[in-house]
Amino acid sequence: MPPHLLDGQPHQHIDRPRRVRQPGEPLRIGIGGPVGSGKTALVAALCRTLRDEISVAVLTNDIYTTEDADFLRRHAVLPDERITAVQTGGCPHTAIRDDITANLDAIEDLIATNDPLDLILVESGGDNLTATFSSGLIDVQIFVVDVAGGDKVPRKGGPGVTFSDLLVINKTDLAPMVGADLGVMARDAAAVREGRPTAMISLTEDPTASEVLVWVRSHLDHAH
């Protein structure tokens, strides 16, 4: 990928070979998006349902803390040994895109402790609309935005909005309060995503994130 500007500075992503998933290996789903968009809440919702169906684990990324992993443990969405964290330091998207070593090591540890696993959810640290996962780290990725940023967010595009395997527009119940037009958001998402799916959800109204759950299950079915 050619160099571009990030926060006014030249920046370049390192393209790595796409991971080739071997028989018996868990499916890896990356979940990214800006700070406060609801990534951790979505991970928790998925775990609460899937833990009774399959063997699942979670890897979170935070800059200086393990706050997201601690949240998931406090709410007992999975046993503690199935949740681990990487402290990325610096720019959070570096650890999921440019230097994925720490995440790969953490995944190895999760598998060693919890084998066999069917699914590992890899949550990125909160970042901007340019953040995407390395295809050497995950198999498919979900990108989460929310309506609090206004209905212009899908129109702004960016790699996460445009190229993620599933775009989730979260907190739709807040749309009337922030003056966001959900119809405009759906239209603009469809325009930039070229047929890739978009799910519009509210975890307040649908705590299981049923539309996302259907998508995840479809990829689990394909993985077996």
* Residue-wise pLDDT tens digits, 137-196: 999 999 999 999 899 999 998 999 999 999 999 999 999 999 999 999 999 999 999 999
Q: Which residue has the tokens 């990325």?
A: 88
Q: Return the SS3 of 61.
A: strand
Enumerate residues 6+ apart whose C-beta is below 8 A from 105: none
Q: Which of 51, 103, 53 is nearest to 82 (CA)?
A: 51
Annotated binding-site residue numbers: 33-40
The one-letter code for the residue type at 202 is S
Cis amide prior to 23 (ω within 30 degrees): no
pTM here is 0.90
Dihedral Cα 219, 72, 142, 112, nearest 10 deg: -50
Q: Summarize pLDDT for 27-49 with one digit per residue, the tens.
A: 999 999 998 999 999 999 999 99
Which domains does the chain possess?
22-223 (3.40.50.300)
Instruction: Give the C-alpha separation, 68 to 70, whole Å.
Output: 5
Annotated binding-site residue numbers for GTP: 33-40
